[in-house]
């Protein structure tokens, strides 16, 4: 057996370097963080060959006294911690005292520094961990660190480095994260003598976001703010029209440090559910501030992940803040002028060509529709279009329900909400309680003085076209109806009026072992939303009662939808999410389909309901419910301006 021996400092530092310094971007991150800890108001970063040749960071911070230079590059030497207790009160970016030691171990390193109160600076060089003597030098106040030939003495590491362009990409990302967290600091980034970022200090986070990602995104941001006794949340989230195919644009900052947190990302997806398409990710720039002792930042080598003392509370605060904001914000999709130049700095491609194409196609559809209906009042009732497609869910008899004046059917299940006008007169073919017919209450919300009725056109049994004060609105009838139903049902459920339906013969449902386990674990939550279950031996679950609103679904189907939700929501499953799942199922199945012909009264009733829903801008599955062509845009397109 080989003897146990203490490792040399050099080996220890190389091991530490392996954990902290993965690639040039890690050096940039550590050095810039040190500058910020030193109180710098300006930080200039220069890199060559993706940082493999040179990384230079110059700051105007507090500097390091000459007699402490050697300590700065010694391992476990820091000015930021004194006792173990301090570990739980960390207010600085660094605290472990290993970054400079690690970097100096695997590069040709030079450190020049001058505290502002000194007349001259001092310089120290370290090559592969070997220190040369400290020499005086001239230096502006602050610190300059140069790192050349990173990993020159660790060939294996060096091999793992990618093309300069790739490494530069990582540097750009590290730089972006820090610069977004500190808008009040002046940052610059140069690569091979080319200026990549010049970021003057600002008090306005939006301005900094604009510098990185262009005005298209900066103009589409919503400000958020909330605070409980201990946690303060603030920052911007992008409107649903701005989304990405990846989640890298979900910037989360905890006490000024960029972090990744699966649970918080899940909260973001939840908040945007129904507002953006599945597979797309929202964009956020959110700052979380909390007392340092409520979070452990010492659980990850680069501090990218942290451990919250009360993660579920933070989750709820984030989700709640976003949901409240979205309910009070007009998220209506504004159509871009066709052919507008797509200018964007975002390398990830903010302008999704697929979406642009879709928008254009929708416009073409609309134009064709206009030509097709020369006589706008002759709405097709006995129409010559294809018959409505057979519903894909043969078990559910919504086709029958729909045939009785589809848009209004569900209102028979749900009484109308309180804010309905009392002078509403039901249309003749509806049984009360129903939504007011627009012939009794004309669209007062849509000022249309020159038209006797503001009835919309139905085109292709699919789109409704109408006008508002702002311009022209094209509505997807299925998407709007689905959303309206969703909002109505949600209201009802949140007010606690969810009846259950007892099954005369309880229905056994066979599940996988994992699924059955989930149902047993969450039996109480399921019961809360009206789905009562009992174990039935093995992996079979017995459904004894389920929500009466879902009586048109088979109990097994309801249970399976719930199980899917349980399986996907893993961590912080809330009763609200379960309810959401129910509502999605119901509203989608119950809504009129594209291809369903609607009578003029039904069209108007549907439009009238548009104003009853709190947030009818997107159908629950994320497609837009309506497109707004503003008068200005139309004028522009017709070259009137
Ligand atoms: P840590 O940041 O965890 O303390 P580092 O190895 O990154 O460890 O830095 C060691 C020490 O060197 C710091 O605690 C700080 O006192 C000093 N230092 C490093 N960079 C700078 C800088 N840019 N300006 C002033 N002091 C610095
Ligand atoms: Mg540090």
Is the backbone peptide bond immediately before 433 cis, with ω within 30 degrees of 0? yes
**Percent of the chain scored above 70 by pLDDT?**
73
Helix (H) or strand (E) holding 545: strand 540-547
Average pLDDT, stretch 509-538? 82
Q: Atom 12, ligand 1: which residue's CA is nearest?
A: 72
- Testing ligand 1's pocket by substitution, the residue of 81, 90, 94, 110 carrying the most ligand atoms inside 8 A of its CB is 94
Pocket flag, ligand 1, residue 75 (CB < 6 Å): no
| Alpha-carbon 35 to chain mean position | 30
- Separation of alpha carbons 143 and 70, rounded Å: 14
Side-chain-side CA neighbours of 315 within 13 Å: the count stands at: 20
Tokens read off for 178: 């820090």
| Helix spans in 273-397 (H) | 311-327, 353-372
Ligand with an atom nearest the CA of residue 78: 1
Residue 547: CB atoms within 10 A of its CB come to 19
Protein residues near ligand 2, an ion, with CB under 5 A:
34, 94, 99
> Which stretches does DSSP call E strand in 26-78?
42-48, 54-59
| Contact criterion met (CB below 8 Å) for 626 and 617 | yes
Pocket flag, ligand 1, residue 62 (CB < 6 Å): yes
Average pLDDT, stretch 317-337? 74
Residue 613 pLDDT exceeds 60: no
Distance 212 CA to ligand 2 centre (A): 25
Pocket flag, ligand 1, residue 63 (CB < 6 Å): yes
Beta-carbon contacts of 593 under 8 Å, excluding residues fewer than 6 positions away, are 388, 389, 391, 402, 478
Pocket flag, ligand 1, residue 105 (CB < 6 Å): no
User: DSSP letters of 250-283?
Assistant: EEEEETTEEE--HHHHHHHHHHHBTTB-TT-EE-
Specify the range with the lowest mean pLDDT, choosing from 9-23, 86-100, 490-504.
490-504
Average pLDDT, stretch 54-74? 96
- Separation of alpha carbons 28 and 177, rounded Å: 11
Q: Measured on CA atoms in the order 582, 584, 585, 589, is the torsion positive or negative?
A: positive
Distance 159 CA to ligand 1 centre (A): 28
Phi, psi of 113 (to 5 degrees): -150, 150
- Testing ligand 1's pocket by substitution, the residue of 33, 100, 303 carrying the most ligand atoms inside 8 A of its CB is 100
136 pLDDT band, cuts 50/70/90, is: very high
* Partners of 281 in beta bridges: 244
Mean pLDDT computed over every residue of the chain: 76
- Separation of alpha carbons 560 and 565, rounded Å: 9
Distance 72 CA to ligand 1 centre (A): 6
Beta-carbon contacts of 131 under 8 Å, excluding residues fewer than 6 positions away, are 70, 73, 124, 125
Distance 38 CA to ligand 1 centre (A): 8
Pocket flag, ligand 1, residue 72 (CB < 6 Å): yes
- Separation of alpha carbons 566 and 521, rounded Å: 10
Which atom belonging to ligand 1 lies closest to the Cα atom of 99?
Answer: 6
Residue 405 pLDDT exceeds 70: no
Specify the range with the lowest mean pLDDT, choosing from 25-34, 377-386, 556-565.
377-386
Tokens read off for 119: 């007349």
Pocket flag, ligand 1, residue 251 (CB < 6 Å): no
| Helix spans in 414-476 (H) | none
pLDDT of residue 23: 93
* Partners of 476 in beta bridges: 463
377 pLDDT band, cuts 50/70/90, is: very low
DSSP assignment, residue 637? Answer: H
- Separation of alpha carbons 565 and 543, rounded Å: 17
pLDDT of residue 140: 94
- Testing ligand 1's pocket by substitution, the residue of 40, 44, 79 carrying the most ligand atoms inside 8 A of its CB is 79
pLDDT of residue 493: 67
* 328-357 pLDDT per residue, tens: 777 765 544 433 333 333 333 333 445 444
Which atom belonging to ligand 1 lies closest to the Cα atom of 101?
Answer: 6
Pocket flag, ligand 1, residue 23 (CB < 6 Å): no
Beta-carbon contacts of 5 under 8 Å, excluding residues fewer than 6 positions away, are none
Residue 181 pLDDT exceeds 50: yes
Tokens read off for 639: 């070259």
| Contact criterion met (CB below 8 Å) for 305 and 272 | no
Distance 120 CA to ligand 2 centre (A): 24
Distance 79 CA to ligand 1 centre (A): 7
Average pLDDT, stretch 128-157? 94
Distance 505 CA to ligand 2 centre (A): 67
- Separation of alpha carbons 365 and 636, rounded Å: 20
Beta-carbon contacts of 44 under 8 Å, excluding residues fewer than 6 positions away, are 56, 57, 58, 59, 187, 188, 190
- Separation of alpha carbons 634 and 480, rounded Å: 23
Pocket flag, ligand 1, residue 109 (CB < 6 Å): no
Most confident range, picked from 130-134, 160-164, 242-246, 307-311: 130-134
Distance 522 CA to ligand 1 centre (A): 49
453 pLDDT band, cuts 50/70/90, is: very low
469 pLDDT band, cuts 50/70/90, is: confident
Helix (H) or strand (E) holding 532: strand 532-535
**Residue 560 CB-density burial (10 A; 0-12 exposed, 13-18 middle, 19+ buried):** middle
> Which stretches does DSSP call E strand in 49-193?
54-59, 108-114, 121-127, 130-131, 135-137, 142-148, 186-191
Using CA atoms, how far residue 542 sits from 63, 202, 506, 516, in Å, is 70, 61, 6, 11
Using CA atoms, how far residue 113 sits from 185, 228, 273, in Å, is 20, 42, 51
Pocket flag, ligand 1, residue 35 (CB < 6 Å): yes
Distance 174 CA to ligand 1 centre (A): 18
pLDDT of residue 619: 54
Tokens read off for 484: 């309206």
Residue 485 pLDDT exceeds 80: no
pLDDT of residue 425: 30
- Testing ligand 1's pocket by substitution, the residue of 21, 37, 87 carrying the most ligand atoms inside 8 A of its CB is 37
Pocket flag, ligand 1, residue 18 (CB < 6 Å): no
* 255-314 pLDDT per residue, tens: 999 999 999 999 999 888 878 887 788 999 999 999 999 999 888 888 889 999 888 889
Helix (H) or strand (E) holding 635: helix 631-637
Residue 214 pLDDT exceeds 60: yes
pLDDT of residue 37: 96
Average pLDDT, stretch 437-442? 32
- Separation of alpha carbons 159 and 394, rounded Å: 59
- Separation of alpha carbons 628 and 446, rounded Å: 14
- Separation of alpha carbons 285 and 252, rounded Å: 6
Q: Could you give the angle at the alpha carbon of 237 between the alpha carbons of 235 and 240, nearest 5°?
A: 170
Q: Atom 23, ligand 1: which residue's CA is nearest?
A: 35
* 240-254 pLDDT per residue, tens: 888 888 888 999 999
Tokens read off for 94: 């660094």
Distance 304 CA to ligand 1 centre (A): 19
* 571-607 pLDDT per residue, tens: 455 666 666 766 676 677 667 778 888 887 788 878 8
Which atom belonging to ligand 1 lies closest to the Cα atom of 98?
Answer: 6
- Testing ligand 1's pocket by substitution, the residue of 45, 75, 78 carrying the most ligand atoms inside 8 A of its CB is 78
| Alpha-carbon 265 to chain mean position | 7
Pocket flag, ligand 1, residue 42 (CB < 6 Å): no
- Separation of alpha carbons 250 and 283, rounded Å: 5
User: For the chain, how far is it from start to end, CA to CA, in angstroms?
Assistant: 87
| Contact criterion met (CB below 8 Å) for 460 and 616 | no
Pocket flag, ligand 1, residue 141 (CB < 6 Å): no
Q: Are strands 186-191 and 281-282 parallel, antiparallel or unpaired?
A: unpaired
Distance 84 CA to ligand 2 centre (A): 17
- Separation of alpha carbons 510 and 522, rounded Å: 17
Q: Atom 1, ligand 1: which residue's CA is nearest?
A: 97
pLDDT of residue 363: 39
Pocket flag, ligand 1, residue 111 (CB < 6 Å): no
Distance 97 CA to ligand 1 centre (A): 7
């Amino acid at each position: 057996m080989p003897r146990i021996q203490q490792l040399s400092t050099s080996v220890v530092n190389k091991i530490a370097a392996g954990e902290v310094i993965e690639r040039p971007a890690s050096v940039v991150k550590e050095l810039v963080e040190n500058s910020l800890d030193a109180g710098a108001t300006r930080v200039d970063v220069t890199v060559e060959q993706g940082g493999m040749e040179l990384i230079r960071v110059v700051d105007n911070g507090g500097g390091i006294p000459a007699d402490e230079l050697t300590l700065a590059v010694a391992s476990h030497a820091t000015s930021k911690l004194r006792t173990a207790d301090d570990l739980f009160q960390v207010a600085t970016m660094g605290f472990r005292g290993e970054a400079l030691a690690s970097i100096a171990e695997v590069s040709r390193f030079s450190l020049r520094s001058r505290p502002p109160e000194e007349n001259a600076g001092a310089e120290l060089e370290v090559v592969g961990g070997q220190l040369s003597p400290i020499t005086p030098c001239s230096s502006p106040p602050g610190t300059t660190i140069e790192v050349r030939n990173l990993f020159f003495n660790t060939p294996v590491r060096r091999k793992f480095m990618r093309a300069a362009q790739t490494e530069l990409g990582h540097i750009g990302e590290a730089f972006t994260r820090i610069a977004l967290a500190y808008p009040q600091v002046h940052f610059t980034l140069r690569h091979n003598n080319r200026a990549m970022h010049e970021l003057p200090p600002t008090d306005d986070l939006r301005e900094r976001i604009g510098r990185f990602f262009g005005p298209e995104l900066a103009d589409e941001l919503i400000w958020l703010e909330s605070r409980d006794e201990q946690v303060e949340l603030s920052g911007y989230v992008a409107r649903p029209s701005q989304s990405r195919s990846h989640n890298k644009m979900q910037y989360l900052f905890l006490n000024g440090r960029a972090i990744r947190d699966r649970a918080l990302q899940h909260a973001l997806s939840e908040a945007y559910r129904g507002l953006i398409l599945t597979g797309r990710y929202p964009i956020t720039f959110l700052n979380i501030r909390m007392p340092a002792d409520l979070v452990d930042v010492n659980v990850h080598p680069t501090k990218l992940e942290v451990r919250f003392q009360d993660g579920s509370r933070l989750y709820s605060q984030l989700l709640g803040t976003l949901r409240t904001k979205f309910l009070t914000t007009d998220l209506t999709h504004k159509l871009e002028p066709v052919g507008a130049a797509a200018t964007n700095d975002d390398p990830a491609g903010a302008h999704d060509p697929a979406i642009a194409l879709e928008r254009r196609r929708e416009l073409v559809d609309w134009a064709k529709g206009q030509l097709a209906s020369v006589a706008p009042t002759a709405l097709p009732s006995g129409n010559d279009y294809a018959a409505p497609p057979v519903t894909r869910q043969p078990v559910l008899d919504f086709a029958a329900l729909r045939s009785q004046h589809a848009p209004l059917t569900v209102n028979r299940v749900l009484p109308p909400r309180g804010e309905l006008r009392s002078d509403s007169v039901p249309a003749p073919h509806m049984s009360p309680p129903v939504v007011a017919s627009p012939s009794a209450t004309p669209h007062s919300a849509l000022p249309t003085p020159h038209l006797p009725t503001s009835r919309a056109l139905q085109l292709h049994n699919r789109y409704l076209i109408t006008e508002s004060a702002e311009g022209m609105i094209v509505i997807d009838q299925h998407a709007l109806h689905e959303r309206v139903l969703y909002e109505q049902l949600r209201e009802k459920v949140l007010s606690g009026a969810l009846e259950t339906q007892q099954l005369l013969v309880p229905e056994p449902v066979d599940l996988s072992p994992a699924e059955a386990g989930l149902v047993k674990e969450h039996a109480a939550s399921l019961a809360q939303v009206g789905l009562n279950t009992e174990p039935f031996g093995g992996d079979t679950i017995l459904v004894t009662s389920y929500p009466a609103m879902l009586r048109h679904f088979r109990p097994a189907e309801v249970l399976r939808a719930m199980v899917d939700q349980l399986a996907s929501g893993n961590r912080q499953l809330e009763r609200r999410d379960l309810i959401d799942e129910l509502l999605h199922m119901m509203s989608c199945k119950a809504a009129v389909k594209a291809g369903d012909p609607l009578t003029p009264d039904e069209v108007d009733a549907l439009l009238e309901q548009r104003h009853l829903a709190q947030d009818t801008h997107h159908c629950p599955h994320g497609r837009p419910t309506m497109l707004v062509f503003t008068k200005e845009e139309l004028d522009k397109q017709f070259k009137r301006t």
